[in-house]
Amino acid sequence: MAKKISSISLLFVFNIISSSFVFSEADKLAPALYVFGDSTVDVGNNNNIDTHAKSNYLPYGIDFPDGVSGRPTNGYNMADLIAQSLGLNLLPAINSIDVSSYNSIEGFNYASSSSGILSQTGTDMFPGIMSLEKQIDMFKDTIQKQLKPRLMSQDSLNEHLSKSIFFLVTGVNDFALGLLRNERKSRQSIDHEAFSNDLVQTYASHLENLYEVGARKFVVFDVEALGCLPLNVQNAFPENPRCLDDLNSLAFNFNQMLYQMVHDLGSKLNGATFIIGKNYQHTLNLVQNPTSFGLKEGFKPCCEITHYGTCEAKNSPCNERKQYVFFDGFHPTEAAYRLLASECFSGTSGTCFPLNVQLLAAL
């Protein structure tokens, strides 16, 4: 009798576990999320690179459940929040794991702080960072070493990749650490339109590269309002903070080219769907009218920043972190990321256009 009860109990427990697993799987809106880009979505890839472009010290991570992680913000970043909204676990930094022995196929984060669209961006200041091209090469390696052995068939792999979300946030460093820095060093003007055009064409080739290996659902963010970033604002207008029109125009003009390129790729690549994430307008809205979004401080960073715009190590940040748009000289707070991620995932304001991520996942 005891054995019978034990068997029934075990069967009951097994059914509960199985039901929980099925619910968990059913709760996923996409099989995986693959994230590429710069510090906006970096979750610690640079921690394991011999570079100074790291955020693995306090006050970064002060509100993150596991503490300091390499995310250049106080808590979760946008990539984390999108993953959670899709019903996925937080994505591991690709440099933090042995991909061949990692069992989960919910996606990975390849983003590297200070990187850009161009392979050379940021490398003179921060050798070792992973350009977008390098990140995509690592994704191809993931396909061979991790996805193919677990998905078993080419059909299963194709299905997985075609239903997964490919999330890209990059471009700002090509201006901040590339074009603008080179102009300051050489004291010569560079043709901004020609530079932006070359940048867009290079970006297009990277997106096509992802398409060729199976990606079909893309979220591509534009470049934020450069002239509204706290470091730039403090350097130019320390007493009366306001956005710098010339820097914003630079980002705006690039973004117009980006929108056209993405539209053209959507028409050219059979079966591909592209979303544009409008971070430029979102940033403008937040800094110009933070109270409309439940925030108080638009221009002032939450932490004390160095002349590079990063947080001073171990100094205490502001107490009202949920009231600030920016945590340091460049990067938003978790509160600001939540606003952007929420609008992009399920909003109807056009922050993510022409449809939101939730609708993209359902396609």
Q: Which residues are catalytic?
A: 39, 328, 331
CA distances from 318 to 86, 239, 302, 328, 329 (A): 31, 20, 5, 11, 14
Number of residues in the chain: 363
The separation between CA 317 and the C-alpha centre of its own chain, rounded to angstroms, equals: 23
Phi first, then psi: what are they for 148, rounded to 5°? Answer: -60, -45
Give strand pairing partners of 297. 324
Residue 24 CA: distances (Å) to CA of 13, 19, 96, 139: 16, 8, 25, 25
Instruction: Indicate the pairing of strand 165-169 with strand 217-221.
Output: parallel
Place of tokens 């050219």: 268
Burial of 268 (0-12, 13-18, 19+ CB in 10 A): exposed
Strands (E), 170-270: 217-221
Instruction: Find all residues with CB under 8 Å of 179, minimum gap 6, and list them.
Output: 190, 192, 195, 250
Rounded Cα gap, residues 32 and 106, in angstroms: 4
For the chain, how far is it from start to end, CA to CA, in angstroms?
52
Three-state DSSP at 243 gives coil
The secondary element (H helix, E strand) that includes residue 165 is: strand 165-169
DSSP 99: G
Q: Which residues does residue 221 pair with via DSSP β-bridges, in sequence order?
A: 169, 277
223 and 172 Cβ atoms separated by less than 8 Å: yes
Three-class secondary structure of residue 216 per DSSP: coil
Q: In 3D, which of 325, 345, 347, 346 has the Cα closest to residue 336?
A: 325
Cβ-contact 223, 279 below 8 angstroms: yes
